[in-house]
Amino acid sequence: MVLRFFILAVAFLLSCTSIERDSVCDEKSIKYNGCVGVFSSSSSEPDLIIISSSSSESIIYGNPVILDGETYKTVVIGTQTWMAKNLKYAAPGSKCGTDRYDSKLKDENTEICNVYGRLYNWATAMDLPASCNTNSTYCSKKITGKHKGICPYNWHIPSNEDWNVLMKFINSRCSDNSRCDGAGTKLKATIGWNSYNNDVPSGSDDFGFYALPGGSSGYSDSTFFGVGSNGEWWSSFEYGSVDFGSDYASSRSMSNYDEAVSYSSRMKSYLASVRCVKD
């Protein structure tokens, strides 16, 4: 009897060791094979997957979402669920950079696009006519509540409020629509960022947001720059009013030389990345 108990105990310990070894979900493990998680009673797929990170926080992954054949991991951060990857949906007018030394933008699905996602002007991201990149009362009145844009069903382009909630969860001392110190380091992926200097730490990706620097472009037909060094993400908010519209919309940005997430306004014809947040 004692021998049998000893054998069962050893077998249990070995199984726990195996689970611990396989408990980290990498970018390829969309189905979370081998990950420790909490499973929904109504589905064979994980409802929430809780993975201990290298920091004191825990990363909570939600169910993946599919758009145009591409599977996106999702991550729960506080009360929000975000895509854990830059959007790469090939919407008309979206572009890809080639590499950090090339000033050209391309339409095809390049290697850089596969890693860093595609770039969109504001009207394209919002799934509105191209004329909405200029001063348009018509377009201003189309932005109400959670604006879906080119995001999947039940997801939307983040508003300023959505970004503010995320920033305050990362750093409770951050103010609305302003620079948020330290948030960039915690949201940036641990890979994919060019080294700048030893004074600025690389991303720690504490929450699984996996921010990658897709670069940007001032206008749809101008110089592309910053892939690997800078990332910029659209907000649904446009400056101006519903009576007058605006040529500008707000965005959030991160860089390899700064630990913060910055708040800025850009011309709508500017090209930037897109992250979707769940309704």
91 is in which domain, residue-wise? 84-278
- Confidence check: pLDDT of 276 > 80: yes
Query: Does residue 11 fall inside a structural domain?
Result: no
Distance CA 12, CA 84 (A): 34
* pLDDT > 90 fraction of the chain, expressed in percent and rounded: 46
Query: Does residue 77 fall inside a structural domain?
Result: no
Distance CA 23, CA 26 (A): 10
Find the range with the poorest average confidence among 97-111, 121-135, 187-201, 223-237.
97-111
Find the range with the poorest average confidence among 78-87, 128-137, 181-190, 219-228.
219-228
Structural domain count, the chain:
1
Query: Does residue 185 fall inside a structural domain?
Result: yes
Query: Does residue 70 fall inside a structural domain?
Result: no
Q: What is the pLDDT of residues 236-269, one digit of tens each?
A: 988 764 444 578 899 999 998 889 999 988 889 9
Q: Please tell me which residue, 85 or 24, carries the higher pLDDT value.
A: 85
Tally of CA atoms within 13 A in the half-sphere of 185 that contains its CB: 12
- Confidence check: pLDDT of 51 > 80: no
| Sign of the dihedral defined by the CA atoms of residues 101, 105, 106, 109, in that order | positive
> What pLDDT sits at residue 144?
77
Query: Does residue 119 fall inside a structural domain?
Result: yes
124-147: average pLDDT: 84
